[in-house]
Amino acid sequence: MSNQSVDAGKNGKKRDPDLAAAEIAMKRAAQKARERARQVCSGVAVLKDGKIVEERQDSNQGLFK
């Protein structure tokens, strides 16, 4: 696991280290899901603007949009 610091954030309160670690793990899991979807030429379901949408890889650039 990486050594990311738990900083104060915008409001000056110290962040809960457990929540900070959970956020890091969720971002890592999202990246792995996108990589797996790319491998099988599939999309991933994401929440955007309060709606569930499928994010698909752009075949020209290899980016999800």
Per-residue three-class SS string for 45-61: EEEECCEEEEEEEECCC
The residues spanned by each domain of the chain are 17-64
Kindly tell me if the per-residue pLDDT of 35 is higher than 90: yes
Q: Give residue-wise pLDDT tens across range 13-29.
A: 788 888 889 999 999 99
Cα distance between residue 37 and residue 43, in whole Å: 6
Q: By the 8 A CB rule, do 46 and 57 touch?
A: no
Cα distance between residue 46 and residue 31, in whole Å: 12
Q: Give residue-wise pLDDT tens across range 4-15.
A: 555 555 666 788
Does pTM top 0.75 for this prediction? no
